[in-house]
């Protein structure tokens, strides 16, 4: 079972002005899976250094297999989750956000405005999801079945990509 951290970036959520429905959506999807366990959860403000610190701690100290972030992927000056992700990863995995945007563009043209990133730090895969619960559900359900294979390869449990 893969250990997952869920990080929500939201100023209003952090101040208690908004319920974190996106983080809850991630938890629900993971709990309906036999392969993923939501081990850690954190609600932070849109603060790049705080997000970076959490990603580093979860990757380097807790050795989580997967970190899913939600929120902070738009155009607002406070949206810094992709920037924090890019600062802490060792390898980009551009296919994941490309696939999410492609799928989302079939639902709404506004998907082109996503700045989501994904990448690897050590043995941890970090994926930025959108901030809305609906978009989280659509994107995570789309990518999650395929992340298992990527994590198997990353963690040395599988070395074969060919079918």
Q: C-alpha distances in angstroms, 141 versus 56, 134, 135, 146?
A: 26, 11, 10, 10
Count structural domains, the chain: 1
- Residue 163, classified by CB atoms within 10 Å of its CB into exposed (0-12), middle (13-18) or buried (19+), is exposed
- Structural domain range at position 30: 2-154
pLDDT band at 107 (very low <50, low <70, confident <90, very high): very high
pLDDT band at 64 (very low <50, low <70, confident <90, very high): very high
Does residue 163 lie in a domain region? Answer: no
User: What would the two tokens of residue 91 be?
Assistant: 């390898």
Please state, in angstroms and rounded to a whole number, the distance separating the CA atoms of residues 151 and 115. Answer: 23
Per residue in 13-41, pLDDT (tens digit) is 999 999 999 999 999 999 999 999 999 99
Q: Pairing mode, if any, of strands 118-121 and 124-129?
A: antiparallel
Task: For residue 40, give the CATH number of its domain.
Answer: 3.40.980.10
Does residue 159 lie in a domain region? Answer: no
pLDDT band at 163 (very low <50, low <70, confident <90, very high): low
């Amino acid at each position: 079972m893969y250990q997952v951290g869920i990080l929500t970036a939201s100023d209003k959520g952090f101040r208690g002005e908004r319920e974190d429905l996106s983080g809850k959506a991630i938890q629900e999807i993971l709990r309906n899976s036999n392969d993923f366990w939501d081990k850690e959860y954190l609600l932070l403000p849109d603060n790049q250094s705080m997000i970076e610190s959490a990603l580093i701690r979860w990757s380097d100290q807790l050795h989580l297999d997967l970190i899913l972030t939600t929120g902070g992927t738009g155009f607002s000056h406070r949206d810094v989750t992709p920037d924090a992700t890019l600062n802490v990863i060792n390898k980009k995995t551009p296919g994941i956000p490309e696939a999410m945007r492609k799928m989302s563009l079939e639902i709404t043209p506004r998907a082109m405005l996503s700045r989501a990133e994904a990448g690897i730090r050590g043995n941890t895969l970090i994926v930025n999801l959108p901030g809305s619960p609906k978009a989280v559900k659509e994107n995570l359900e789309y990518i999650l079945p395929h992340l298992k294979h990527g994590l198997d390869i990353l963690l040395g449990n599988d070395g074969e990509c060919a079918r």
